[in-house]
Amino acid sequence: MTKKQFKHDFLRGLDSAIIDLQSSDNPKKYMDIVRYGCLHNTTYDMQCKGDRSWYLYYAAQLAWVKEIIEAAVIQICTKASGTLKNYMRLLRKGKSMGYTYVF
């Protein structure tokens, strides 16, 4: 599958992108696309499509970018204020205590 086709399928949440990641000899070649998909809201209609967090998390693991995305999300959230900052502090505290979070 070409990168253009992968991007088309991945940003739409199609299983063909996951299958390509699983069968690829070099899944890291899709790192930028997976990172973009995880850090941007690409859902057209959340009411119809629902939550794709499992899909994005699994793709991040397959493309070897899970840690990069986690760091980027933490960086974005630390720039936020109020309730979100308090929530992120709790998540970091939980992670230091050995808890694992899947979003």
Q: How many CA atoms lie within 13 A of 71 on its CB side?
A: 4
Domain spans of the chain?
A: 3-96
Contact partners, residue 1, CB within 8 Å, separation at least 6: 9, 16, 17, 20
CB 13 within 8 A of CB 49: yes
Tell me the whole-structure pTM to 2 decimals.
0.65
Nearest to 14 by CA among 39, 47, 49: 49
pLDDT tens digit string along 41-76? 777 665 666 667 778 888 888 888 778 877 877 777
